[in-house]
Amino acid sequence: MSQWRMSPELLERFRTATTVVVLTGAGISAESGIPTFRGDGGLWRSFRPEELATPEAFHRNPRLVWEWYMSRRELIMTAMPNPGHLALAEWENLVPSFTLVTQNVDGLHRKAGSRNVFELHGNILRSRCDDCGALLGGTAPGTDGAIPRCSCGGMARPDVVLFGELLPSDVLQKAEEAVAGADLFFSIGTSSVVYPAADLPRIATRHGAFTVEINLIPTELSDIFDETLRGPSGQILPAILAAAALGMSGAVTC
Ligand code: OAD
């Protein structure tokens, strides 16, 4: 059971916002059974990113890196959006401009029905050529573990951003522009330690948006938000939508 309070100001902002940007991280998918990266049970507690999620690791041992991504891909393919994803998809239908910026590679926002989605870190369900960058659909190693090749001869790799790589610049630029124009900004289920995504709340603040964080625990950036709601996003987001629809505010117990 979690307790959180939405202020009357947030309710009013929620009702009157015309340009909304939401940033999500692994926490929004936790209630769909997908592990987060940090904290108890986080992937980076059991696996070393430098062995599995860097370009060097991929070139050193592409089979090992593919094996790890395949195990995550299989889990993600069967995962279903949770009430948090679904509430965001519903919210998009209620405001004139709604942009969802996600660090997640699981594709669950689109599966939930969200349309205007920027995937900052790529999508684990897609592959691309490590040399020429051509998109290669869902290409994956066969049971013999052989790495598929692009027509240019390059190795197929998961279409995700690895540590040390730059984010797709067009996606990042569009996301930053959307944040700069937002009047209401939510950061949901992210530890706010990975940049450049963690710059987005500051951009929102600088441009005068009302900013809200939803997380189970305080984060590196909690202090800069106008409002922080502590609890699971899969409970808080549907409750906010319901409260806004009913014109309520104040303490809501989930
Ligand atoms: P993290 O694992 O760093 O943080 C997840 C956050 O979600 C934590 O702050 C949790 O407290 C919070 N959380 C967990 N369950 C929640 C729930 N039900 N409701 C609300 N909050 C919840 O994940 P990210 O911040 O997304 O990068 O990590 C950023 C990047 O680091 C990832 O995109 C990935 C990783 O290395 C790449 O793979 C490039």
Examine the domain organization and report whether 102 and 181 are in the same domain: yes
Task: Please say if 121 is a catalytic residue.
Answer: yes
- Among protein residues, the one whose CA lies closest to atom 32 of ligand 1: 103
Ligand 1 mean position, distance from CA 97 (Å): 25
The answer to whether residue 254 scores a pLDDT higher than 70 is: no
Integer Cα distance of 168 and 172 in angstroms: 6
Atom of ligand 1 nearest to the CA of 38: 2
Instruction: Summarize pLDDT for 96-110 with one digit per residue, the tens.
Output: 999 999 999 999 999
Integer Cα distance of 200 and 39 in angstroms: 22
Ligand 1 site residues (CB inside 6 A) read: 25-27, 30-31, 36-39, 42, 103, 121, 161, 189-191, 194, 214-217, 219, 232-234
Examine the domain organization and report whether 104 and 135 are in the same domain: no
Examine the domain organization and report whether 50 and 156 are in the same domain: yes
Domain extent, residue 140, equals 35-78+124-160
Please provide the average confidence, as pLDDT, over all residues in the chain. Answer: 94
Atom of ligand 1 nearest to the CA of 122: 39
CA angle 19, 25, 29 (to 5 degrees): 110
What pLDDT does 66 receive? 96
Q: Is 35 exposed, middle or buried (0-12, 13-18, 19+ CB in 10 A)?
A: middle
State both tokens at 34.
């997908």
The answer to whether residue 47 scores a pLDDT higher than 90 is: no
State both tokens at 101.
């910026």
Atom of ligand 1 nearest to the CA of 121: 39
CB atoms within 10 A of CB 228: 18
Examine the domain organization and report whether 22 and 135 are in the same domain: no
Examine the domain organization and report whether 8 and 88 are in the same domain: yes
Examine the domain organization and report whether 109 and 43 are in the same domain: no
Integer Cα distance of 67 and 83 in angstroms: 30
Ligand 1 mean position, distance from CA 146 (Å): 32
Examine the domain organization and report whether 198 and 248 are in the same domain: yes
Please tell me the least confidently modeled range out of 50-54, 193-197, 232-236: 50-54
Integer Cα distance of 191 and 172 in angstroms: 19
Q: What is the CATH number of the domain that holds 102?
A: 3.40.50.1220
- CA 141 to mean position of chain CA atoms: 26
Q: Look at residues 108, 134, 160 and tell me which one is the last residue of a structural domain.
A: 160
Any alpha helices (H) in 181-253, and if so which ranges? 200-206, 233-246
What total of structural domains would you count in the chain? 2
Candidate list 59, 109, 121, 207, residue with the active-site label: 121
- Tell me the pLDDT band of 55, cut-offs 50, 70 and 90: very high
- Among protein residues, the one whose CA lies closest to atom 22 of ligand 1: 27
- Tell me the pLDDT band of 70, cut-offs 50, 70 and 90: very high
Q: What is the CATH number of the domain that holds 61?
A: 3.30.1600.10
Write down the pTM of the prediction. Answer: 0.95
